Amino acid sequence: MTPLQTCRAILADQVGPDQVDAVLEHGQWLELQPGDRLHGDQERVSAMYLILEGQVALSVDVAGHTLQLGHLDARNWIGEVAYFSGSYTACSTVTARTPVWLFRMGFAEFSAFSRAAPEAACRLTHVLVTMLIHRLRVTAQNPVLDADGQLLLPVNQSLPEAGHAVPGQGILDFVRHLLGSK
């Protein structure tokens, strides 16, 4: 499949097939080779990225040590924390482990997308928040210590396949799901 076909399939699951074009209008493609760094921990960033193909490693630098946080696979987004926190600061170093294709949506483009297609933006926001919650759970529930007692998290931080799709088709279904009601 081409990156466009892959992106269409992933976005159809995440925002619904009728909203894919609205998302695609607000982004572009990026390719990384193994070892290429997308951005560094605590660097200013201006975009979110959907991993279409490949895998990236996540790490942070603490007190002169690099801690490997884990990795993310295709179908996951990177950069949502920087956007939602309003800091526009990366919370980890992201490095390609394999050849990677990404769909890049700048923060300004995400804001424009939210105004142009609020239902699709609401669905995508739900996916992004679900991914963030999953990553926090994995981090809290699976701490690993190295031989020196240093915290390591070399785990797959990717959201399981079933968590990518947004249930329901409308805003009310989304809000009901968010609040846990039927």
Indicate the domain borders of the chain: 3-179
Question: What is the helix (H) or strand (E) element at residue 63, kind and residue range?
Answer: none
Per-residue pLDDT of the chain (182 residues; tens, 9 = 90+): 888 999 999 999 999 999 999 999 999 999 999 999 999 999 999 999 999 999 999 988 877 778 888 889 999 999 988 888 888 989 889 999 999 999 999 999 999 999 999 999 999 999 999 888 887 777 666 665 555 655 555 555 565 665 555 545 555 565 565 556 55
SS3 143: coil
CA 25/CA 169 separation, integer angstroms: 21
Closest CA to 42 of 100, 88, 2: 88
Q: Which position has the token pair 């931080």?
A: 157
Within 8 A by CB and 6+ apart from 1, the residues are 9
Q: Which fold has domain 3-179?
A: Jelly Rolls (2.60.120)
Which whole-number Å values give the CA distances from 43 to 46, 91, 117, in the listed order? 10, 8, 30
CA 113/CA 107 separation, integer angstroms: 10
Whether 171 contacts 123, CB under 8 Å = no
